[in-house]
Chains A and B, each alone.
Chain A
Amino acid sequence: MEITLFGQIIQYAVTGITIGSIYAMVAIGFNTIYNVTEAINFAQGEFVMLGGLLMVFFRVGLQIPTVLSIPLTVLVVTVVGMLLNQLAIKPIRQPSVLSIVIATIGASFFIRGIAMMIWGKTPFDLPPFSGRNPIPFLGAVIQPQGLWVMGCLVVVVIVLTIFFDRTIMGKALRACAVNPNASSLVGINVRFMVLISFALSAAIGALGGIVITPISLMEYDRGAMLAVKGFSACVLGGIGNFPGAVTGGLLIGLIESFGAGLISSGYKDVFALLVLLAVLFVRPNGLFGNIEISKIKKF
């Protein structure tokens, strides 16, 4: 079976966008919490992992149909996210960026440990949502599940845009991102907004885990690597910047895929980081970051 160079490039692009969508979702999760608390939630990757493993539990273990398992899983992981806020973040008496970061790092180890005890170390599989027959496309193939992943990103982006632009709660979250003190002065409950941001982050992370598991399986310690890549995507696009997160995620996925395919697969992880460093040298605030805003923010 032959494949032309054009077909190869299309294939790399498809793979890159698929995995890039997951990085983008993780990056959006980072941004949501960052915008309200100015801290990085290093447990973000664990939300993806939990989404995948809980979906396996509901769909494969309890045989609940996919249509019901997805909202169930998202709900449980959202609760985990809220618990993370209530138990690890809120009790900190004088929250500083550093203390929140340390708390989330500790939480990520804790969640990973619990996952290891419940599910063990073996990888788990999910049946794909609409079968496994690859769809030929311009000389390459696309998995149906890959389309679900990309579709999920599109839906998340659309829903979040409507949420932040058109709903009161979304606007309140944006207000907290700009200036928490002023926000509380106009009657926004900032602590509640923090809780909402964690819940939202967890839900988005869970969705990412749910859609990627049928392609790449899921195990208890996948979260760490996803968090690192997602964070790089975040920084690449400009931290705190919503379209930046999406662009950054897709870019990192594409660079990895093309780098592995066209240059060298052994150094795949290096390419994305090299590009990240290069961009930061030229534009320290990321591709879409704004220098003014970053001067106001502490982190």
Chain B
Amino acid sequence: MKAKSSMDKGIACLLAVGMVLTLMWVSPQVVSAADSYKIGAVFSVTGRASFLGDPEKKTVVMLQEKVNEQGGINGHPVEVVIYDDEGDSTKCALAVRKLITRDKVCAIIGPSLSGLSLAVLPEAQKHKVPMVSCAASYKIVTKDPETGEQWKWVFKTPQSDSMAVESIYTHMKRHGLSKIAIMSVTSGFGASGRSELLRLAPEYGMDIVADEKYGPKDTDMTAQLTKIKGKSPEAIVNWSIGPTQVVVVRNWKELGMTGVTFYQSHGFGSRKNIELAAGAAEGVYCPLGACNIPDVLPADHPQKEVTTAYKKAYMAKYGEPVSSFGGHAWDAFSLVVNALEKVGCDKEKIRDHLEGTTGFVGQHGVFNFSPKDHNGLDKDAFQMVVVKDGDWALAD
């Protein structure tokens, strides 16, 4: 049956062409497993800063899975290479070097600590790899504080201390408070906060009548608070992290000073601290990034959606509440993914794209980067909250 055989041949040809076309259409996804987008990350997952690095790593892993579940970035699966620097600057430098030279990543997220970020940024600059740090010091992005010149290849997502201070001073000014006392712990965090408090006071018309300090292992601040009590300020700002920020609130209550408005630094932002204060934290104010308080944000708040989604997803995957620090990693990773989506794995283009990103809704604020600002946030990245009935509530 010659006719049938030629029709069979035709059908066979069509099928063959169809198969080839299908293979050609399908195969880019198979072939592109080789050209996945590699993102590098260095976090202090263990060691003294594990409270920073552990949630950061967990967040990045969670986000990577989500991106790949949705088919990757333009079809390219995302591969994240995470190294643990254990809070040590040597290990951090080695990790960054490995990411750049051996793993050949498109961009680097982290480190978790300011000191380590400052130590490794020359590597990023030298090899021209975009680095988005999850640490807070303004020095990480600012090359020259006088001119405001930023390091070309370095960005950061956490808010700076100065923004927390500005957030507090703005609230104070709005409520007519101007005679204030400040307390700080003698660690790097406390000293940095104190210097910002002193520097910005004249701008907001704040009169600092007392400037007290205490050590990170001190067990009692009643002496400092008693001295402050003698100066009769209208408000107190405390800048510390660790158990001292809880003890000072307890002392404040015990000395009967609840008439003096009390502000904590953003280091207070954890429900555990409210618990440890054993009721003494009622009425205490604190500037917090939005990701700490998604439930309390009004429905029309620009960050309401992303913060609520992050909280739900993180709790579902890890069974623990979100950490403020994980939010910084969320912002960094999402910014890099956003860049990869638009420009692919081209380091120069990623850097340019990051620098030009505006209106990016993140966990800690709405980012607006520019050549003069590689942090992209201002004081509105902090929401002023007050402790009410043992939980956070938006302050007016």
Q: How many residues of A contact B (CB 8 A)?
A: 41
Please give the residue numbers on chain B whose beta carbons come within 8 Å of chain A beta carbons, in ascending order: 51, 186, 212-215, 217-220, 222-224, 226-227, 229-230, 232, 242-243, 246-247, 250, 254-257, 259-260, 272, 275-276, 278-279
Per-residue contact bits, chain A 238-267, to B (CB 8 Å; 1 contact, 0 not): 000000000000000000111011100110
CB proximity of A252 to chain B, nearest CB, Å? 13
- Segment 74-117 of A: residues with Cβ below 8 Å from B: none
Which 3 pairs across A and B sit closest by C-beta, in order of nearness? A216-B219, A123-B243, A260-B223
Do B276 and A217 touch (CB < 8 A)?
A: yes
Taking a contact as CB atoms closer than 8 A, the residue among B51, B186, B220, B260 that contacts A15 in the complex is B220
CB proximity of A31 to chain B, nearest CB, Å? 22
Do B226 and A266 touch (CB < 8 A)?
A: no
- Segment 200-232 of A: residues with Cβ below 8 Å from B: 212, 215-217, 219, 221-222, 225
Do A143 and B219 touch (CB < 8 A)?
A: no
Do A132 and B222 touch (CB < 8 A)?
A: no
Taking a contact as CB atoms closer than 8 A, the residue among B212, B217, B227, B247 that contacts A8 in the complex is B227
Q: Which residues of A contact B223 (CB under 8 A)?
A: 11-12, 15-16, 256-258, 260-261, 265, 268
Per-residue contact bits, chain A 259-299, to B (CB 8 Å; 1 contact, 0 not): 01110011011000000000000000000000000000000
Do B226 and A3 touch (CB < 8 A)?
A: yes
CB proximity of A166 to chain B, nearest CB, Å? 34
Do A266 and B243 touch (CB < 8 A)?
A: no
Q: Is A1 at the interface (CB under 8 A from chain B)?
A: yes
Query: Can you list 10 pairs linking A and B with CB atoms under 8 Å apart?
Result: A1-B260, A12-B223, A134-B255, A134-B256, A141-B254, A216-B219, A217-B219, A217-B247, A262-B227, A266-B186
- Cβ-closest chain A residue relative to B225: A11
Q: Given the interface contacts A212-B219, A261-B223, does A268 sit within 8 Å of B254 by beta carbon?
A: no
Do B217 and A261 touch (CB < 8 A)?
A: no
Q: Which residues of A contact B227 (CB under 8 A)?
A: 8, 260-262, 265
Q: Is A43 at the interface (CB under 8 A from chain B)?
A: no
Per the bound structure, the CA–CA distance linking A5 and B227 in Å amounts to 9
Per the bound structure, the CA–CA distance linking A217 and B245 in Å amounts to 11
Taking a contact as CB atoms closer than 8 A, the residue among B213, B242, B260 that contacts A123 in the complex is B242
Do B220 and A125 touch (CB < 8 A)?
A: no
Per the bound structure, the CA–CA distance linking A117 and B256 in Å amounts to 38
Known: A11-B226, A123-B246, A269-B215. 10 other contacts (CB 8 A): A1-B256, A8-B229, A11-B223, A19-B219, A123-B243, A215-B220, A217-B219, A217-B243, A261-B224, A268-B215
Per the bound structure, the CA–CA distance linking A14 and B250 in Å amounts to 16
Do A266 and B213 touch (CB < 8 A)?
A: yes
Q: Which residues of A contact B259 (CB under 8 A)?
A: 1
Do B254 and A143 touch (CB < 8 A)?
A: yes
Q: Given the interface contacts A141-B255, A141-B256, A217-B246, does A265 sit within 8 Å of B226 by beta carbon?
A: no
CB proximity of B255 to chain A, nearest CB, Å? 6
Q: Given the interface contacts A12-B223, A122-B272, A123-B276, does A265 sit within 8 Å of B246 by beta carbon?
A: no
Do A12 and B226 touch (CB < 8 A)?
A: yes
Per-residue contact bits, chain A 41-72, to B (CB 8 Å; 1 contact, 0 not): 00000000000000000000000000000000
Q: Which residues of A contact B246 (CB under 8 A)?
A: 123, 125, 217
